[in-house]
Amino acid sequence: MWAPLPLCLLSALLATGSALQCEVCQSKAGSCSGPLQPCGPSEGTCVAAVAEFNLEANSFSYAAKSCLEPESCEPGPFTLTFTRNITVRANIACCDTDGCNAGAIPVPPVSPVPNGRQCPSCFAAGADRCRDMEPLACTGAEDHCVDIAGTLTLGSVTLTKAAAGCGSPGACVKRVGVKKYAQGVVDVLSRGECYPAPWAGGEL
């Protein structure tokens, strides 16, 4: 009766000690740092995410680090440009060793150089659809057209929007449904389309 008990306790301790540990933090800045925390049984990945938003006259950044389910992680940078120079610059990095998401990751640059392509564009805060579209000349690596609608949650901040414009290929991770980038960073889209941008002068 006594023999199995120490073995069970030892197994439990070993199982607890073997859990992946990730740095966990959130900040309304370009980077953040926090304590290492053990991940849940399904969370086999550490993630670091950073984004910069330019919404007409308002600009802000957001950074988050956490544990994440491996199937939720789609790493890589992406940029989006909507009408009225509303831009999103984001980067996501994933790894699978203890504390590997420490340190800062850069946001991708946005090039002002036209690439010869164009997309229909709009931005409507608090709406589920844009009423008017206007052509937007794409620049740099943004050679795809993106059309999205839904709600983005960044910690305690929630933004409901409908938007369309130019995006880099990495922006095609935005799809209909729930997309979790990190703990507290969730995109819920009712519409999400991404396709290669046509050359300027063709039909949109």
The confidence score (pLDDT) of residue 157 equals 87
The confidence score (pLDDT) of residue 203 equals 54
The confidence score (pLDDT) of residue 18 equals 63
Question: Residue range 63-86: average pLDDT?
Answer: 93
The pLDDT confidence band at residue 202, using thresholds 50, 70 and 90, is low
The pLDDT confidence band at residue 56, using thresholds 50, 70 and 90, is confident
pTM here?
A: 0.85
Catalogue all structural domains in the chain, each as residue range(s) with its CATH number. Answer: 20-196 (2.10.60.10)
The pLDDT confidence band at residue 58, using thresholds 50, 70 and 90, is confident
The confidence score (pLDDT) of residue 166 equals 98
Which has the minimum average pLDDT: 3-12, 116-125, 165-174?
Answer: 3-12
Tens of pLDDT, residues 146-168: 999 999 999 888 999 999 999 99
The pLDDT confidence band at residue 171, using thresholds 50, 70 and 90, is very high
Question: Residue range 26-47: average pLDDT?
Answer: 95
Question: Residue range 74-98: average pLDDT?
Answer: 94
Q: Is residue 63 a contact partner of residue 70, using CB atoms and an 8 Å limit? A: no
